[in-house]
Structure 1
Amino acid sequence: MNQKSASAPAAENKMGTMPIGRLLFNMSLPMMVSMLVQALYNIVDSIFVAKLSENALTAVSLAFPLQMLLIAVATGTGVGMNALLSRALGAKKTDEANKIASNAAFLYIISYIVFLILGFTVVKPFYASQIGNADVEIMEMGIDYLSTVMIFSMGLLAQICFERLLTSTGRTIFSMTSQLCGAITNIILDPILIFGLIGFPKMGVTGAAVATVIGQCVGALVSFTCNHKFNPDVSLQFRGFRPDGRIIRTIYAIGIPSIIMQSIGSVMTYSMNRILITFSSTATAVFGVYFKLQSFFFMPVFGLNNGITPIIAFNYGAQNRKRMVKTIKLSMATAFCIMLFGFLCFELVPQVLLGMFNASADMLTIGVPALRIIGIHYLLAWFGIICGTVFQALGKAVFSMIVSIMRQLVVLIPAAYVLAKFGGLHAVWWAFLTAEIMSLIVSLIFLFRTNRTIISKIPDGSDIL
């Protein structure tokens, strides 16, 4: 990438001076669109796989926990880099920003080596721990799919690294471009490689994994090119590079809580799969379909988060409380509208949503009431998601981690287990609402504390959260 110019960067001026409503739209909309496309291609991926068989859909669904772990490490490291880098840019510490970017890139390389090893060693025992030897076909398809995704995960890690560099400097339009390129590549290749079209061999479930990996590599190449050509604010400097322990510790101090939060999601998914498989593989497939569908509503909110994190962090570094507070309020209103739409879809047309996945009569019987019950918690979930982003941007990511642990491990899984034992499969789905109520209460407590100890002490403006 080019060296940063001597003049003040446009991204700094934008995040510090542009009207908040316009800035939120400018920063977040590209990320929301790109995340929506990401969700769309995840759904399309499963729609094509479901056309092979319900077992194929189940095999891909059972891969979620390790896939989520991979994404957790990639995005969590990005959270730490993003918040730290935006703060340095807000304080006009150019050299520090370059060191942060270079050390973060080093961490992504180390992460890939770890997942490469895991791809060769843990996939088979991971599947065996969920289904044993009950279904050899599901086991074989799942191992082929997940091994491919993990062994060739360098594309995903590189893509997220370079995208977060773009986001940190306010260039979300280029981040959106790279995501779109990767997603469209995956969507095009999915039917070609799964079903063996236009002369390609029919690869089945493995074809879905190969299409995903190629899409990620395309996205990585595009995001690298955008950084090199259009991001003069940050330079990756590896000549004479030595890891900086102070920077790495700071990145992980912010990022590890995010990694843990998303890894908890991996543990939750794994545990739910084990609970549901005791009823039937169809119940597990329904849960897998739900996870694909919910991404269509949650991913845009996560895109909103990616847009507001650098705004909050930048203005925190610049000690501008009024802009921070307005960003938080507008993002909460936006997130609520998105999640309300998700709630309405799950309540009004669950059979249509399931029908996209070639749902059998058994899947519809289980899935329709399941989606309607789970959908209720959407009316609460938006608040905890935005609060978690605020905590991370202000260096209090441990609050987000505590909320996530309590919601998914302390409440959700035990509640699901107890409800399964005493209420059967239909009762299991109420665990989601139970956990979200707890999340709302704890998030409120932490938000009031963050306002009292950090936000209200910034001597800027008169707005109080």
Structure 2
Amino acid sequence: MTEDSVVLKGHDARLPMLRKAQADAKYREMTQGSVQRLILRLCIPAIISNLVTMAYNLADTFFIGHLGTAQSGAIGIAFSVMTILQAIGFFFGNGSGNTIARELGKHNVDRAGKLLSIGFFGSLLCGAVVAVLSLLTLRWLVVVLGSTSTIAPYAVEYLTPILSVSPLVCASFTMNGQLRYQGQSALGMYGLVSGALLNFIIAPVFIFVLGMGIFGAGLATAVCQSVAFMILLRMSLKHAVIRLSWRQCQPTVLLVREIMGGGLPSLVRQGAGSVAVTCVNIAANPFGDAAIAGMAIVMRIMMFANSMIIGLGQGFQPVCGYNFGAGLFARVKAGYWFCVRLSTAALVVMAVLMWFSAPHLIALFRSDPEVIAVGSLALRIQCTTVMLGGYNMMSNMMQQTMGKTGIASLLALCRLGLFLAPAVLLLPHLMGFLGVQAAQSFSDVLTFIVTIPLQGRVLRSLRIRKEKG
């Protein structure tokens, strides 16, 4: 045996001890540090990741807006498909991540490692299935999602390269979530931000310089998603609290059930989002390409605003998971109310800014006067209720992280599925296109009303468990 092999063997023997020490240090940090400071430190990388990711989605909308109204409408159609890919990634990332955080709070590092690996390889497999099925039926699919005859060819061009790397897209979202639940949001940020910054550079080159049009925008997104995947994979293999490993991928009925339970609210939320976007496109279809394009731009702008609040919730979730697993329920409640207050205040400020700058925001993406008129009114209507999202989102994220699958899934379904989809299909019959523009606000109010008693029940259960000790 050579000296090098002896050193390697000794290094390998120390790995479990090093990982345990790292996990113990992270446990102390998550359960003993100031809750507010922990959330702020963890949410900043998550917010940056969300904002940059949304920024490069908006960059596509901006660049493609210079090609024509039909091409802008194609982005709205593609948004439904991208939401499905995110849903798969979030399902496995949050499904494994929620339980990972609780298991690390209980010092169960080995079990957390199995959940991590099952979640990663599961997302790769499901992404591959979606890629094959979608590419085989793409022309039919974009019509079902609400394309007009002029928009459909552009939607196919844009989606083809993106769907070709679907497994990598899904796995990237999964790894980002898993790193975040380990209390390492910064590692996930590096991968997503690197891909996003690259997109800002190559998208205009592909679209305009190389003359590839909307196909170039899709190809640039596919390349950037692949780069983000490689960076995130390296972070997960080398620097995470628990390392990604094929040998740890040992699915059992119990582990798979825990991932499904933890991920179901995310799957419902994202799946309902895809259905809602499709319903918006279908409802806007009779009013023409400008209506579809205007609503597509508004949806992107609102997602950009909400991404900051989601990032705050993502900073809260690992703190919630660790402390709930450790039985520190007072810290869970303190973190929750801190996030509700902060998110509501931020949304009020954003609502005021978006109200007064609505026409200018829409004009950034499409100068068509009809698109600006449609989008400005829709954006202003949504500004009247967007501040309710702070309470709605934080409550839903808390329930999911605590393993309250039923309540979390119901509330995830309410805003985008149970209320928005019917509203956007029924209100136009009563109010014309104004019904399409007002449907999101209608859904926000109803979701807030339903959330109040359900979240009150969860908070009471925490108080009772704390009193019992």
Partners of 1:145 and 1:206 within 8 A in 2: yes
Matched position secondary structure for 1:92 = coil
1:144 matched residue in structure 2: 157
Q: Which residue of 2 aligns with 1:266?
A: 274
Q: Which residue of 2 aligns with 1:367?
A: 375
> CA shift at 1:209, angstroms?
1.1
CA distance in 2, matches of 1:189, 1:245: 44
Q: Does the 8 A contact of 2:281 with 2:292 survive in 1?
A: yes
Q: Which residue does the alignment assign to 2:181?
A: 168
Read off the aligned partner of 2:104 and give its amino acid letter. L
The answer for the alignment partner of 1:418 in structure 2 is 426
The residue identity in structure 2 corresponding to 1:5 is R
Cα distance, 1:346 vs structure 2: 2.4
Structure 1 unmatched ranges of 5 or more: none
- Residue 104 of structure 1 pairs with residue 112 of structure 2: no
Give the TM-score, by structure 2 length: 0.92
Structure 1 residues 150-161: aligned runs within 5 Å: 150-161=163-174
- More helix by percentage: 2
CA distance in 2, matches of 1:407, 1:181: 32
Return 285-294 or 148-157, whichever deviates more.
Answer: 148-157
1:20 aligned partner, one-letter code:
V
Show the 5 A alignment for 1:300-379: 300-379=308-387
* 1:206 matched to 2:215: yes
Q: Which residue of 1 aligns with 2:49?
A: 34
C-alpha displacement at 1:460, in angstroms? 8.6
Q: Which range is displaced more, 113-122 or 169-178? A: 113-122
Could you tell me how far apart the structure 1 residues matched to 2:308 and 2:468 are? 31
- The CA distance in 2 between the partners of 1:130 and 1:451, in whole Å, is 39
Structure 1 position 130, deviation (Å): 4.5
Alpha-carbon distance between aligned partners in 1 of 2:390 and 2:294, rounded to the nearest angstrom: 23
Tell me by how many angstroms 1:171 deviates: 1.3
- In structure 2, relative to structure 1, the CA distance for the partners of 1:86 and 1:443 (3 Å cut) is same
Task: Work out the CA distance in 1 between the residues paired with 2:140 and 2:35.
Answer: 50
C-alpha displacement of 1:459: 4.5
Are the structure 2 counterparts of residues 446 and 285 from structure 1 closer, same or farther at C-alpha, using a change threshold of 3 Å? Answer: same
Q: Which residue of 1 aligns with 2:306?
A: 298
- Distance, in Å, in 1 between the alignment partners of 2:248 and 2:237 is 20
What letter corresponds to residue 286 of structure 1 in structure 2?
G
Instruction: Give the one of 233, 245, 258 matched to 1:224.
Output: 233
Question: How far apart in 2 are the matches of 1:5 and 1:39?
Answer: 34
Indicate the residue corresponding to 2:29 in structure 1: 14
Match of 1:456 among 438, 445, 464: 464
CA RMSD of aligned residues (A): 1.9
Q: Say whether residues 1:445 and 2:453 are aligned partners.
A: yes
Structure 2 partner of 1:188: 201
Whichever residue aligns with residue 422 of structure 2, its letter is P
Paired position in structure 1 for 2:3: none
What SS class does the counterpart of residue 9 from structure 1 fall into?
helix
CA distance in 2, matches of 1:21, 1:130: 42
- Pair 1:127-2:145 in alignment: no
Task: Spell out, residue by residue over 1:257-293, the C-alpha distance to the aligned partner (whole angstroms, 9 max, x if none).
Answer: 2201210111111111111111111111111001111
Q: Give the residue type in structure 1 aligned to 2:211.
A: K
Q: Give the distance between the partners of 1:335 and 1:10, measured in 2 at CA.
A: 29
Q: Does 1:83 align with 2:91?
A: no
* Partner-residue secondary structure (3-state), 2:419: helix
Q: Quote the residue 1:49 is aligned against.
A: 64
| Aligned-partner residue type, residue 235 of structure 2 | C
2:163 is paired with a residue of what secondary structure? helix
SS at 2:247 equivalent:
coil
Q: CA deviation at 1:240?
A: 7.8
CA distance in structure 2 between the partners assigned to 1:97 and 1:409 by the alignment: 32
Query: Aligned pair count?
Result: 454
Verify: 1:24 aligned to 2:32, yes or no.
no
Q: Deviations over 1:126-164 (max 9, x none)?
A: 2222457x524x211111211221221232223223222
CA spacing shift, 1:112–1:418, aligned 2, 3 Å: closer
* Contact 2:266 2:412 (C-alpha < 8 Å) held by counterparts: no
| Alignment correspondent of 2:19 | 5
Alpha-carbon distance, 1:455 to partner: 4.7
Change (3 A) 1:130 1:153: closer
Change (3 A) 1:90 1:422: same
Q: Deviations over 1:357-401 (max 9, x none)?
A: 132111122222221112212121221111110110111132122
**Alpha carbons 1:31, 1:307 under 8 Å: kept:** yes
C-alpha contact 2:427 2:435 (8 A) present in aligned 1: yes
CA distance in 1, matches of 2:251, 2:422: 41
* Contact 1:32/1:300 (<8 A) preserved: yes
Deviations 1:230-259 (A, max 9, x none): 22x212332385422211111011102220
